[in-house]
Structure 1
Amino acid sequence: MGALAGKTALVTGASRGIGRGIAERLGRDGARVAVHYGTNEKAAEETVAAIEAAGGSAFAIGVELGTPGDAERLWAEFDRHADGVDILVNNAGIGTARSFEEIGQEEYDRLFAVNAKAPFFVTRLGVDRLRDGGRVVNISSGLARTAVMPHLLAYSMTKAALDVLTRDLSKVLGPRGITVNSVAPGIIDTDNTAEFLHGTEDGQAQAAAISALGRVGTPADVADVVAFLASDDGRWVTGHWLDATGGSLT
């Protein structure tokens, strides 16, 4: 019996990268996991299969976020498989954006629609399904607190907005015993960062040098932090911004 046995979790953007790592870890801890994906159904099914192969339970739900009615469609799909949720992880997001000098209004609007608006309404419409004593974890970024990559200004702004949602929503949902926290990764080795980390001669070394621990993070590094917040061990932590950058901000 895992720490999350009997719980149901929804992880958005769980078909790959950090989201997949989180989904697999929550599944290993005993939660039944809703693996949300936007367009890559095959990758989501692979995540489900990996969870099941490890002895867990999961199902995939496909809804493209950042489009009109996205939150309503997501929960309608979820309701076909489960009758409530205990853990909501808002992980899905657009990981890059053009610089301040280059970004246009359409890209800016899309960025905020996926990274800030979707988590807000997925959470708002999910509140009635979220059981008392539940957990909301928002995946932020170390860039919300540092200007080390100013070319990602608009992206960083979306994560700062998500952090305000975390802070204030913790007060709104606190009376129900629901905790709300942000987890802020640094540079993580995923397909989003593959071009920089592996496509350049010294990308890996540059990224590792940013961390106080001297290496690049993995999805498991972030997933383990989320698992703590999702468990009973994290019951007294709420409204918190948790630095999971490997000391990149020190």
Structure 2
Amino acid sequence: MSSERAAEQKTALVFGGSRGIGAAAALRLAKDGFTVALTYVSQPDKAEKVVAEIEALGGHALDIQADSADPGAIRAAVVRTVERFGPIDAVVVNAGIIRVGGIETFKLEDLDRMLAVNVRGVYLSIQAAVPHMRDSGRVITVGSNTAVRSSNSGTCVYAMTKAAVATMVKGIALDLAPRRITVNNIQPGPIETDMTAAMIPRLTEMVPLHRVGQPAEIAALVSYLVSEEAGYMTGASLTIDGGFVL
């Protein structure tokens, strides 16, 4: 990419951008004029599909295999993005996993994996990207409304990791405020994705609006948070869950 184009082009990096909320965010950012790099772990076909959809819109995209539990892979994803598209304007950290189980049976390896991806991976993704970000950039994490209230037995560890992200965002927002880089956290409730497909009827009954959310609705909030209009919001956690935790 030429230096002239790099100066003009807005670039976004979406960690966990091959499906669900992450894919919707990548597509929305492309529609908003961003060149998009996105990471995936194990399903290259899904990542390639998102890239193809962005290119069909006339945009530019790059898919990168990177496990967010691997610090080296996180750093390499940032380097590849910058080498291909230039400085980063927005980072969306959507990569996350869920394991359920009560405290009496929860496996140590599951605990370690969730902390590695959902907490350490979020922190390291931001830490790796920040040196390559323009001033006045945007950092967005995708957490969960379980950070506010865990409604189901067996979700303690998942809720703990998402609560950690909500607190993390506040501190990083202060660290990056001198550069006018905003840092905000989106906390979705039940969203219709391949992970929730089998639970849609039950989840619908639990949501006051009597429906689950769509990935595009979360992507719309991402779009707002990366816009100039959101420049005065930082350190916030925004819950979007149909009234689930009211």
- TM-score normalised to structure 2 length: 0.93
Residues 177-231 of structure 1 deviation map (CA, whole Å, 9 limit, x = unaligned): 110000000000101112222xxxxxx2x31233232211110111101110011
Name structure 2 gaps, 5 residues minimum.
1-7
Is 1:19 paired with 2:25?
no
Where do 1:22-171 residues align within 5 Å? 22-171=25-174
* Conserved 8 A contact 1:136-1:181: yes
Distance 1:239 1:18 in 2: 21
Residues 114-143 of structure 1 deviation map (CA, whole Å, 9 limit, x = unaligned): 111011111112111011000000101000
Residue 239 of structure 1 corresponds to 235
Residue 217 of structure 1 corresponds to 213
Deviation at 1:149, TM superposition (A): 1.9
User: Could you tell which deviates more after superposition, 148-157 or 136-145?
Assistant: 148-157
Query: Quick one: which amino acid aligns to residue 176 of structure 1?
Result: R
Residues paired across the two proteins, number: 239
* Conserved 8 A contact 1:228-1:234: yes
Query: Quick one: which amino acid aligns to residue 116 of structure 1?
Result: V
Give the match's secondary structure for 1:150. Answer: coil
Deviation at 1:29, TM superposition (A): 0.7
In the TM superposition, structure 1's runs of 4+ consecutive aligned residues that sit over 3 Å from their partners are none
* Conserved 8 A contact 2:11-2:86: no
Distance 1:188 1:165 in 2: 23
Residues 155-186 of structure 1 deviation map (CA, whole Å, 9 limit, x = unaligned): 11111111111111111101111100000000
Deviation at 1:79, TM superposition (A): 3.2
Distance 1:101 1:16 in 2: 32
- TM-score normalised to structure 1 length: 0.91
* Conserved 8 A contact 2:82-2:88: no
Distance 1:210 1:6 in 2: 43
Residue 5 of structure 2 corresponds to none
Match of 2:245 among 227, 235, 249: 249
* Conserved 8 A contact 1:166-1:181: yes
* Conserved 8 A contact 1:213-1:246: yes
* Conserved 8 A contact 2:99-2:110: no
Give the match's secondary structure for 1:36. Answer: strand
Distance 2:34 2:79 in 1: 20
* Conserved 8 A contact 2:71-2:124: no
Give the match's secondary structure for 2:58. Answer: coil
Distance 2:57 2:98 in 1: 29
Distance 1:180 1:119 in 2: 12
